[in-house]
Amino acid sequence: MNRLAAKVTDISRLLSPRSVAVVGASGNPESISGRPVKLLQRFGFKGRIFPVNPGRERIADLECFPDIASLPETPDVVLVGVRAGLVPGVISQCADRRVPYSVIFSSGFAESDESDAQREIMDTARRGGVRILGPNCQGLVNFAGSVPLSFSASLDSDSRPLGNVAYVSQSGAFGFASFAMAAESGVGFKYVVTTGNQADLDIVDFGTAFASDPEVRLLVFYMEGLSDGPRFIEMLRFAGERNVPVAILKVGKSPTGRTAAKSHTAALTGEDEAWRTVFRQYGVIEIEDAEDIADLGKVFGRDRRSSGKKLGIITTSGGAGIIMADRSWDLGLEVAPLPQDVQVSLERFVPSFGSTANPVDLTAQVINDPEGFRSCLDTVLDCPEVDMVAVVLSMITGDSGAVVTRDLIEAARLSEKPMACCWLINREQGGPFLDELITKGVPLFRSLKRCAWALAQLARWMERPALPARAPDNPGEPFLPGMPPDLTEYDAKRLLERWGVPVSHEILTTSLEGAIAAAEEIGYPVALKIVSPEILHKTDVGAVALRLKDKEELRNAYGRLLERSSKAVPQARIRGVLIQEMVSDGMECMIGVKRDPLFGPLVAVGLGGIYVEILNDVSIRQAPVDRDEAVRMIRDLRGFPLLAGTRGKPPRDVDALADMVSKISVMACAEDTLGELDVNPVFVLDEGNGAVVVDAVVIRRSDL
């Protein structure tokens, strides 16, 4: 059994309660405290509804009760919409009645200066076994069960397309606003949840539960931050194992955004690069605004999945078809000419001034003869060299528009391939056609760029990499705790050596005579380096001498380096001098580790020199990575052709470099006190000759 499967939070009674109490219920159905009862009735909620308000006898033709204690039965869910100061007392009553769940709409807790008040209500809730959604949230909706546990005005409508998208948002207002926009464009939802401050139940609880629902085809998140990175990653892995696409709108990347996110939901935000790294590894679709949610919902909400990235385009406008082809190509889709036999079949339906290639240009002639549209569409959909189809229509109106609409709906229903329609028409002329397509679930776009983007995301998700390797249960005994508190290059290399990473041949000595003897043992030429925990970047202070070819050069360099080091860093504790072999003929690379406070150790690999310092050409993953993933990391580098061998240069030992990256990533998981590691340079020798670490810096965690 998957390790996370046993940790799926059972929220079935929250999503499908048999009875709901509304504390603070108002007789004004348009007020925030009046809407929950109104929505429950409007949705046709089949359970019992208990308004709670000591100042009223009846609300919405329902008996009203003064408090939770006086209810005739213990409700499954208590909705709390009173001012913050009254919430602790309500939760205490819930605890006394052993209420399973409470949804707290009220604000004024951890998102403000009242974090103690939030802790108080959670302590009380735990005493009675009450699970809390919120506070500072707008609740949730189970559309399949007709259960609105919310006050959002976006739900006060009879237009509620039921579908297969689950949406979890930390922001209540944005969550329901973006849901409403997506629903209006035809996206069908099964669940919408807003988690607010996440004092108890959080996005991971709901995300894991929804990923286990076989009817959910897309899982969308609006996120401001997390408190438990490993749980979040397990949720992503669980969704990946169940082939449930995950799309995330992560905010709080800029300094201003991070500050706002913390004040909004008291969330902890991680560094942007760490988030992007995790997203790439687990195949997360990264989104940026509410429109992205709607666009993904249109294509992922259906059960059609692409087998590749070959796009067939059918258009009634040559110009629009070209734009669609350009945008699709920009996004990585392939718009190749259709096979000759397919083009011959299309000639019956395409006028001579059109095109049977790709895009297939039917021209505006379809207005006069719409009957051939369906045959053309079926021909392209049936083409084995096409994985998905985009239909781009212009101002097709009247009876012709009705025929095209009917054919699109029928083709989308029967085809096993993804299909989307971009209809460039105004509401006055095309409203009935557009509404009919939306009602029947045809992915409909009004923007060529957005249509291409949504289809490209579908293709990319289908080609996502395999899920990352798990950290080994027993990677090995940590080595750092037994090392000196202040670490030097020599210590860093002993650490690497302990984990099977090849390092240069070197000897640490504390005297000139010892240095001469070490050089003779290693063999000239050698490098000489000052070893001090205060001098980590030795070249900056002239504490390194390279390519010393004999005893005389070594003797002169020895005293010179000691003098420079003492002058540049007077407080430096000199622990000795390192005599090291000169490694040559290799390509310089680097491997780095940094421990993210949320997601743990991240491992990076890149080419050395300007590729790291100026071009920032590095590839990053969350540790650990296996050897295959390490190879993919290296191949991701823009400078990879230099390692592969170009212009007569021999290929370098990429496999040895990948093996080193993998070993260091496992080490990073095992060495809990490791904060940062900079292995630079690593010399990657010719293919088959390995790779060797020449210099390294290790820094312990500062938060322990």
Residues 370-381: what's their mean pLDDT? 91
CATH 3.40.50.720 residue ranges of the chain are 5-299
Closest CA to 543 of 560, 526, 556, 555: 560
Write the CA distances from 583 to 40, 256, 563, integer angstroms: 74, 47, 26
Q: Which overall architecture, per CATH, does domain 587-700 show?
A: 2-Layer Sandwich (3.30)
Q: According to the model, what pLDDT value does residue 611 have?
A: 76
Q: What is the CA radius of gyration of the chain?
A: 32
Question: What are the φ/ψ torsions at residue 342 (nearest 5 degrees)?
Answer: -70, -40
Please determine, for residue 89, whether its predicted confidence score (pLDDT) is greater than 50: yes
CATH 3.30.470.20 residue ranges of the chain are 587-700
Residues 26-42: what's their mean pLDDT? 94
Closest CA to 388 of 344, 430, 429, 328: 328
Q: According to the model, what pLDDT value does residue 114 have?
A: 66
Lowest mean pLDDT among 72-86, 105-119, 138-152, 443-457: 105-119
Please determine, for residue 700, whether its predicted confidence score (pLDDT) is greater than 50: yes
* Residue range 113-136, pLDDT digits in tens: 767 889 999 999 999 999 999 999
Mean pLDDT estimate for the chain: 92
% of the chain surpassing 90 pLDDT: 82
* Residue range 268-284, pLDDT digits in tens: 444 788 999 999 999 99
User: Which fold would CATH assign to domain 505-581?
Assistant: Dna Ligase; domain 1 (3.30.1490)
Q: According to the model, what pLDDT value does residue 6 have?
A: 34
Lowest mean pLDDT among 330-344, 450-464, 612-626, 650-664: 612-626
Confidence category of residue 82, pLDDT binned at 50, 70, 90: very high
CATH 3.30.1490.20 residue ranges of the chain are 505-581
* Residue range 327-336, pLDDT digits in tens: 999 999 999 9
CA angle at 153 for the pair 151 and 157, rounded to the nearest 5°:
115
Confidence category of residue 610, pLDDT binned at 50, 70, 90: confident
Closest CA to 661 of 637, 628, 638: 628
Are residues 284 and 248 in contact, defined by beta-carbon separation less than 8 angstroms?
yes
Are residues 215 and 190 in contact, defined by beta-carbon separation less than 8 angstroms?
yes
> pTM, whole model, 2 decimals?
0.91
Pick the CATH number of 304-462 from 3.40.50.261, 3.40.50.620, 3.40.50.720, 3.30.70.3400: 3.40.50.261
Q: According to the model, what pLDDT value does residue 268 have?
A: 41
Please determine, for residue 371, whether its predicted confidence score (pLDDT) is greater than 90: no
* Residue range 414-469, pLDDT digits in tens: 999 999 999 999 888 889 999 999 999 999 999 999 999 999 999 999 999 899 98
User: Which fold would CATH assign to domain 5-299?
Assistant: Rossmann fold (3.40.50)
User: Distance (Å, rounded) from C-alpha 371 to C-alpha 377?
Assistant: 11
Residues 482-496: what's their mean pLDDT? 93
* Residue range 39-69, pLDDT digits in tens: 999 999 999 999 999 999 999 999 999 999 9
Are residues 503 and 540 in contact, defined by beta-carbon separation less than 8 angstroms?
no
User: Distance (Å, rounded) from C-alpha 672 to C-alpha 333?
Assistant: 43
Q: According to the model, what pLDDT value does residue 702 have?
A: 85
The two structure tokens encoding residue 193: 């949840």
The residue behind tokens 């560094």 is 271
Query: How many CB atoms are located within 10 Å of the residue 423 CB?
Result: 24
- Which residues, 6 or more positions from 412, have their beta carbon under 8 angstroms from its beta carbon? 419, 440, 441, 442, 443
Confidence category of residue 326, pLDDT binned at 50, 70, 90: very high
- The number of CA neighbours under 13 Å toward the Cβ of 433 is 29
Please determine, for residue 112, whether its predicted confidence score (pLDDT) is greater than 90: no
User: Distance (Å, rounded) from C-alpha 99 to C-alpha 252?
Assistant: 35
Please indicate whether residue 265 or residue 402 has the higher confidence score (pLDDT). 402
CATH 3.40.50.261 residue ranges of the chain are 304-462
